[in-house]
Amino acid sequence: MKTHHKVIFGNCMSMEEISDQSIHLMVTSPPYFNSPFDYQGLFKNYGQFLGVLRKFARETYRVLQDGRIAAVNIDDMLVNGTKYPIIADTIKVFQEAGFRYRDKITWKKPDGYLRISRRSGVLLQNPYPMYFYPDNLLESIIIFQKGKFNYRSIPQNIRELSIIDKKKFQQNKWYMTLWEMTNVLPGSPLEKDIAAFPEELPYRLIKLFSYVGETVLDPFLGSGTTMKVARKLKRNSVGFEIIRDLEKTIRIKTGFNGKNDFPNQEDKFEISERDEGKYRFVRIDYIKQKIVKIRS
Ligand SMILES: C[S@@+](CC[C@H](N)C(=O)[O-])C[C@H]1O[C@@H](n2cnc3c(N)ncnc32)[C@H](O)[C@@H]1O
């Protein structure tokens, strides 16, 4: 089965290139509001961040087929000592866009791994009350559904091609609301400066919530992890990315750089860029300048 993968360089607050009800699953991880490690000062304020989420949620609702799933990997964010309730607000925003809030999976990273500073060290230096700042090893995957899925709409042969390995499901504990998955290590070259999620995250979601030959959307594509996994699992994909400079990274990761070991060499890859209008793409220098300007 040949699959098709399309990257649109533009802002996903509008997904005008995608027609209504043409997507079978949305998997993504938006930028976490002004995250100190990745996006410090990117958004003017929290209201602006919520505005982006609102438009992205409405557009996701429009392009998803009835009955289908939107899965968002997100976390609350600590910025200058204040924790922003991003998970709760994203749930509200998606409900307001029309979705039913269905589930929340907690993603736990290995104990030894802490990307953020070891905040708990403060207490070790000052072992007294009021010096407690916990280290965070968790993120969330919040799962929404657009109406009801018609199980009878899928032909029997497609159901069989998309079958989920029950052994893997049990052994790797996919059945729980706690998923233990190793994160992308800081310093891994392809994901440098991109807060990428591990392949295991879209792998589980794509296996659990889409059928072979269907189309998966990632509106915040980053390095292209969702697209890579969609291709491996014989799903089509569409991704939006605002930073034009990421084309090379995405091509390498998804195996569309001329050198790859993907079994199906006939898969198609398409790039389009939206360089006019309000929701056009930007260059990395613009983002860097913006961050510096706000920081200084
Ligand atoms: C958390 S990263 C996603 C990483 C991705 N899951 C991966 O594994 O590489 C968020 C990405 O969204 C992009 N982005 C931010 N705002 C955007 C917008 N409004 N429209 C499209 N892309 C956006 C950022 O440039 C960044 O690459």
Choice from 42, 184, 242, 287 to test ligand 1 binding pocket (greatest atom count within 8 A of CB): 242
Within a domain: residue 274? yes
The finding on whether 243 has its CB within 6 A of some atom of ligand 1 is yes
* CA–centroid distance, residue 242 to ligand 1 (Å): 7
Within a domain: residue 117? no
Within a domain: residue 130? no
The finding on whether 139 has its CB within 6 A of some atom of ligand 1 is no
Amino acid 292: pLDDT: 57
Extract the tokens encoding 288: 């860097």
Within a domain: residue 125? no
Extract the tokens encoding 164: 């989920």
Within a domain: residue 210? yes
Choice from 35, 220, 231 to test ligand 1 binding pocket (greatest atom count within 8 A of CB): 220
CATH number reported for the structural domain that contains residue 83 in this entry: 3.40.50.150
Angle at 160 between CA 154 and CA 162, to 5 degrees: 80
The finding on whether 230 has its CB within 6 A of some atom of ligand 1 is no
Within a domain: residue 131? no
- The answer to whether 253 and 269 are in contact (CB under 8 A) is no
Within a domain: residue 127? no
Amino acid 185: pLDDT: 77
Strands, sheet with 64-74, edge to edge from the N-terminal-most edge strand: 178-180, 100-108, 138-145, 64-74, 23-28, 215-218, 236-241, 4-9, 268-273
User: pLDDT of the chain along its 296 residues, tens only?
Assistant: 899 999 999 999 999 999 999 999 999 999 988 776 666 777 889 999 999 999 999 999 999 999 999 999 999 998 888 999 999 999 999 999 999 999 999 999 988 766 555 788 899 999 999 999 888 899 999 999 999 999 999 999 999 999 999 999 999 999 999 999 998 877 788 888 888 999 999 999 999 999 999 999 999 999 999 999 999 999 999 999 999 999 999 999 999 988 767 777 799 999 999 988 889 999 988 877 776 555 54
pTM listed for this prediction = 0.95
Domain that holds residue 181: 4-109+138-295
Nearest atom of ligand 1 to the alpha carbon of 11: 20
How many structural domains is the chain composed of? 1
Within a domain: residue 238? yes
Choice from 27, 38, 48, 194 to test ligand 1 binding pocket (greatest atom count within 8 A of CB): 194
Amino acid 291: pLDDT: 67
